[in-house]
Amino acid sequence: YTLDKLPILMIMSHRGTEGEPICAQVPMGQATPGLLDALEIAYIHPQTPEEALKLIPESWLLAELGGAPLGILLDISFW
C-alpha cells in the first residue's frame, strides 16, 4: 500500500467547534476541514449521535472498498 491507497478509518475529535471551552482550540477546529481537503482525505461530519452510530460501521466499508483514508469528525458535543 501507498499512503493514498491505505484504507484507514480516522475518528477525530473536532475541537474548536460550537461549545468549545478552550478558545485556543478554535483556530485548529476551523482549519481541520480545509487541511483534510488539502490532503485529499475524505471525511464525514455527522451532526447527531444517532447519525454517527450509523455512519461509523459504514465508513469502514467505504474506506476499505475505496482503498483510501476516511475521516469522521466528531464535534465537542459528542465527547
Give me 7's grid cell: 484504507
Give the single-character DSSP code of 74: E
Reply yes or no on whether the pLDDT at 3 is more than 70.
no
- Give the Cα separation of 35 and 45 in Å (integer): 14
Q: What percent of the chain has pLDDT over 70?
A: 95
Residue carrying C-alpha cell 472498498: 65
- pTM for this predicted structure: 0.82
Report residue 78 CA to chain centroid gap: 12
Distances (CA, A) of 30 to 18, 50, 58, 66, 79: 11, 24, 26, 27, 18
Confidence of residue 78 (pLDDT cuts 50, 70, 90): confident
